[in-house]
Amino acid sequence: MHHNNNAALVKRELLIALISAMLDDRLESDIDRIPYEMTSAPDYEPIRCCVQHDRQILKTRLLARLGFSVEDYSDDGTPLAVYAKQALERTGVTGPILTVLDDACNACVKARYLVTNACQGCLARPCMMNCPKKAVRVVDGRAVIDTDRCVSCGICMRECPYHAIIEVPVPCERACPVGAVSKDEQGKERIDYSKCVFCGSCMRECPFGAMMDKSQIIDVLREKKQGKKIAVLFAPAVAGQFRASLGQLFSALGEAGFDAVFEVALGADITAEKEAAEFLERMEAGEPFMTTSCCPAYVETVRKHNPTLAKRVSHTATPMHYTAELAAEECPDHLRVFIGPCLAKRKEGLDDPLVDYVLSVEELGALFVALGIDVSGMEDAPMQRNASASGRGFALAGGVAGAVMAQLPSDSVCTPVLVDGLTSTTIKMLSRWADGAAEGNLVEVMACTGGCIAGPSVIANPKVAAAQLRKGC
């Protein structure tokens, strides 16, 4: 789904209101007013049955933004202020990093096929004749599908000469490449975390915004208010989210209160160098190919769904980890906060002791708005160190393989292969490659089509972000 949609705008508006209240020390006193303020305009049109239901959904969204799981939440009259107090008093974040808002979920119909008014009731009736379950019949001159018999094979849709039969998908289920999203007994979507790879596809594609990440923004702002120093590590993709130079982004991050700023492209340079050395070692040892390891959703996919491929995955750590090492060495008394467009980085952050918190670029954008910071209007800050163009290109599909190849000796035999986006098809393809059937010997895998600039939490059009990123490189 395009990043610019009403569900995303509502989530961002909530973030801005929440951050503003936190910055002004009125989170507990004002949080219960936010759902009312967002629905009080005279021209407000309810999304659900009534404004009261909309407010209840906004309340649940705020709980997720406070960092709580809400699957089992039921409104017992407890004010949001109570949860805000709990968020301000907690000492750390926990998984899972996704949560499903039952009230927001539309309980979409099970993926099935529907006969539209374009049906002509034709003599041939190939939809009925070819249905293996005899689920199609003609009533009053129109085809009708018996949903109890239908097995969603799609033959009727393919056979109809008028294209009168359409598929009605469940967006979050269809988007999930590993089948981790399915309905419970009440028709609400649930996430099977034993399968989930945290790619964020369900969150990006749900048109009701029912799939939400559990925010850590309150935790970061609380730490700052308590006097902690914070080193921010921003991913290469972040530079493409704002129409500004890297120097202006550095200035904006400093203005936002971060005490030290590290470009994760520096860690990407380290990753590229180490991965190139590892590639050469593996090829000399006679291995058929090596895959990159910087995409945490891909690594999680291998761990949970393609364990036979694990032996082909690079052992090199991610740019986030190496940048955290740099920050820990240079600013040992600072908390380390990663910012990027990737949901899976939240999971990686939970597992990496060098990373204290992970924020999305969506949260960063809301923070800038709440603080009145115009990134494009900032002065260019001097860059203390410069990452390479290759390191900054990690955010683009093909950029990781390109950076690794740039580190190889000129006489190296390297044939790169790009797996641009994790889907059920590409996952099956990777499974077939496990025993050495890959088309090349250096395989780059990106969970998001187009690279990190198309992650589930972006705030800019990926094509525009790619152009902006290339300009900065």
Q: How confident is the model at residue 87 (pLDDT cuts 50, 70, 90)?
A: very high
Stretch 97-117: mean pLDDT, rounded? Answer: 85
Stretch 337-358: mean pLDDT, rounded? Answer: 97
Stretch 349-355: mean pLDDT, rounded? Answer: 97
> Can you tell me whether residue 338 is helix, strand or coil?
strand
Residue 111 has pLDDT above 80, yes or no: no
C-beta separation of 101 from 70 below 8 A: yes
Percent of the chain exceeding pLDDT 70 equals 99
> Can you tell me whether residue 451 is helix, strand or coil?
coil
Phi, psi of 330, rounded to the nearest 5 degrees: -85, -30
Cα 322 from chain centre: 22
Residue 110 has pLDDT above 80, yes or no: no
| Burial label, 281 (beta-carbon count in 10 A; 0-12, 13-18, 19+) | exposed
pLDDT tens-digit profile of 24-80? 999 999 999 999 999 998 888 888 888 999 999 999 999 999 999 998 788 888 999
* Structure-block tokens of residue 146: 């018996």
Q: What is 220-272 written as a DSSP string?
A: HHHHHHTT-EEEEEE-GGGGGSSSS-HHHHHHHHHHTT-SEEEETHHHHHHHH
Q: How confident is the model at residue 434 (pLDDT cuts 50, 70, 90)?
A: confident
Distance CA 60, CA 75 (A): 9
What pTM does this model have? 0.91
State the Cα torsion 55-59-62-67 to the nearest 10°. Answer: -160
Phi, psi of 177, rounded to the nearest 5 degrees: -80, -10
Residue 316 has pLDDT above 90, yes or no: yes
Percent of the chain exceeding pLDDT 90 equals 81
Q: Please report, in angstroms and rounded to a whole number, the separation of the first and last CA atoms in the chain.
A: 27
Domain 6-107+172-219 has what CATH class? alpha beta
Distance CA 185, CA 194 (A): 19
Structure confidence at residue 1 (pLDDT) = 63
Structure confidence at residue 292 (pLDDT) = 97
Structure confidence at residue 2 (pLDDT) = 62
Structure confidence at residue 3 (pLDDT) = 65
* Structure-block tokens of residue 151: 């097995």
Query: What mean pLDDT value characterizes the chain?
Result: 93
Q: What is 271-306 written as a DSSP string?
A: HHHHHHHHHHHHHHTT-S-EE----HHHHHHHHHH-
Stretch 139-164: mean pLDDT, rounded? Answer: 92
Residue 231 has pLDDT above 70, yes or no: yes
Question: Where along the chain do the CATH 3.30.70.20 domains lie?
Answer: 6-107+172-219, 112-168
Which CATH fold topology does 112-168 show? Alpha-Beta Plaits (3.30.70)
Structure confidence at residue 336 (pLDDT) = 98
CA-atom Rg of the chain in angstroms:
24
Structure confidence at residue 473 (pLDDT) = 64
The residue among 125, 136, 141, 37 whose CA lies nearest residue 80 is: 37
Structure confidence at residue 215 (pLDDT) = 96
Between strands 211-213 and 98-100, the pairing is: antiparallel
Distance CA 183, CA 330 (A): 48
Structure confidence at residue 176 (pLDDT) = 96
Distance CA 443, CA 190 (A): 32
DSSP class of residue 460 equals S
pLDDT tens-digit profile of 380-417? 988 778 889 999 999 999 999 999 999 999 999 999 99
Phi, psi of 419, rounded to the nearest 5 degrees: -100, 100
Which CATH fold topology does 228-472 show? Fe-only Hydrogenase (Larger Subunit); Chain L, domain 3 (3.40.950)
Distance CA 445, CA 404 (A): 13
Helices in 382-444 by DSSP H: which ranges? 389-392, 399-406, 424-433
Question: Where along the chain do the CATH 3.40.950.10 domains lie?
Answer: 228-472
pLDDT tens-digit profile of 208-226? 999 999 999 999 999 999 9
- Give how far Cα 382 sits from Cα of 253, 324, 368, 385, 420, Å: 13, 21, 20, 9, 35
Distance CA 21, CA 296 (A): 33
In terms of average pLDDT, the best of 141-155, 325-339, 369-383 is: 325-339
Helices in 24-152 by DSSP H: which ranges? 27-30, 34-37, 51-65, 80-89, 126-129
